[in-house]
Amino acid sequence: ETGVTQTPRHLVMGMTNKKSLKCEQHLGHNAMYWYKQSAKKPLELMFVYSLEERVENNSVPSRFSPECPNSSHLFLHLHTLQPEDSALYLCASSQDRSGTYTGELFFGEGSRLTVL
């Protein structure tokens, strides 16, 4: 079992649908992230939560809405998406330590989203 679990693994939705992506980490980490990975583009950081508080919102359109109810769970709520939002959405976690950073993110296997 991986330390970071994402569901669903695949999602197809229409532009008017509302859906959610779920992420759960079993590593005892205190920071969680959403990244977007599109073909031939670098991973794009979308949101960062540290100690359940959102500390980063990288100019992401409001049709993406994150939620972090506790340090183990992270959601990405999706509504009225566009076809260009089709991508692999990766959740990650890390252990934040004040003043130090190891650079190690633990990723889930991703949720592949197709918007029709």
Partner 1 sequence: RKEVEQDPGPFNVPEGATVAFNCTYSNSASQSFFWYRQDCRKEPKLLMSVYSSGNEDGRFTAQLNRASQYISLLIRDSKLSDSATYLCVVNPTGGGNKLTFGTGTQLKVEL
- For partner 1, the binding residues (CB under 8 A) are 4, 31, 33, 40-43, 45, 48, 50, 55-56, 90, 94, 96, 99, 101-105, 107-110
| Complex with partner 1: residue 52 or 96, whichever CB lies closer | 96
| Complex with partner 1: residue 66 or 110, whichever CB lies closer | 110
| Complex with partner 1: residue 9 or 77, whichever CB lies closer | 9
CB of 70 to partner 1, least distance (A): 18
DSSP, residue by residue, the chain:
--SEEEE-SEEEE-TT-EEEEEEEE-S--SEEEEEEE-TTS--EEEEEEETTEEEEE-S--TTEEEEEEETTEEEEEEES--GGG-EEEEEEEE--BTTB-----EE---EEEEE-
CB of 5 to partner 1, least distance (A): 11
